[in-house]
Amino acid sequence: MFNLRFDLRTPPFTEVTHGDQYRAMLEMVKWADTRGFAGAITSEHHGTEDGFMSAPLAISAAILGSTDNLMCTLSALLVPYHDPLRLAEDIATIDLMAPGRLIIIAGLGYREFEFEMFGKDRTRRGRDTEEAIRVMQQAWTGEPFEYQGRTVWVTPKPVTQPHPLVMVGGSVPASAKRAARLRLPYMPPIGDQDLVDLYYAEASEIGFEGAFAMAPDGPGLVLVTEDPEALWAKIGPNMLYDAQAYASWQYPDQRSGWHVEADDVAGLKASGQFEVLTPGECVELVRTKGAATLHPLCGGIDPAIGWETLELVVDKVMPALAEGT
């Protein structure tokens, strides 16, 4: 299985513009839609010098509106920054246009600047997220209900019932318990079996029989080329920028498989999170892990590099997997 991930950030030293990236992303998902790719992954951050994707629901709607087959996973939607009624309306609208093809990973957010930007209390993020999810679940019934002392009504309701797929994110025990309490699937951003076990234990305790958890396994980025060393020499600064910018946002209570502490490109290559592979190496990765996350525009690289990855996957990797060679 192959997914395409986008965050559409452009480092200050790159010549690629945000307009270039957004247009390339839409062309890539249209192309991938009929070539056996499983889905696209979007994300959310605000107020960054590199313009990290800040309107993920709009972008997810554009991806789904441009395709007929791809799933789109928003990983993660930072729920506390948003009005839950507007989230319910927007998600329902996307589901009406692309029934069942949008997956939401509900995240809490963590960057202090973002909470200040939206006038939100970071210390309440867990409670605010849980309340917002409950409000959305009720809103998606299509019936009027009382919210903050007033009657509200979200229409039209989504096609997918009882509601579009929402999974709970988070990398601490409280997130695992929250997912079970909300009777929703759990998707931590790190491969921590203790979190998964805690989620299932909590679900069993409350009688939630539909519990399901999925933790990441494998590199967060895969690019495919015939000459990995030559490509690393070309894109190393972009990849290092991406890793270091993300690492600079992290707090002691925030864990993510994408978090890499690297002082140079050699350290980044050794992390196992950023993998530049030959087609044959990509075949072995997918056979071992079952999937690969392609990041064809990561770090503001030239879209031509991303296209090389996508075309090699279709022309060489997929056929080898299909033939078992």
The residue segments making up the domain with residue 142 are 14-21+37-206
Average model confidence (pLDDT) across the chain: 97
Residue where a domain terminates, one of 165, 183, 206? 206
In a domain? residue 28: no
Tell me the per-residue pLDDT of 100-152, one tens digit each, with 9 for 90 and over. Answer: 999 999 999 999 999 999 999 999 999 999 999 999 999 999 999 999 999 99
Under a CB-based contact definition with an 8 Å cutoff, are residues 169 and 75 in contact?
yes
Containing 102, the helix (H) or strand (E) segment is strand 102-107
Judge whether 80 lies within some domain: yes
Instruction: Answer yes or no: are the C-beta atoms of 104 and 74 closer than 8 Å.
Output: yes
pLDDT tens for each residue of 241-285? 999 999 999 988 777 877 899 999 999 999 999 999 999 999 999
pTM for this one?
0.97
One domain for residues 234 and 98: no
Residue 48 counted as domain residue: yes
In a domain, 279, yes or no: yes
**Are residue 132 and residue 225 in the same domain, yes or no?**
no
Confidence at residue 254, expressed as pLDDT on a 0 to 100 scale: 77
pLDDT of residue 259: 83
**What whole-number percentage of the chain has pLDDT above 70?**
100
Give the CATH number of the domain where residue 52 resides.
3.20.20.30
Specify the pLDDT at position 251: 86
Which residue, among 276, 281, 279, 248, has the nearest Cα to 262 in the 3D structure? 248
pLDDT band at 77; cut points 50, 70, 90: very high
Give the Cβ contact number of residue 36 at 10 Å. 14
- The verdict on residue 4 lying in a domain is no
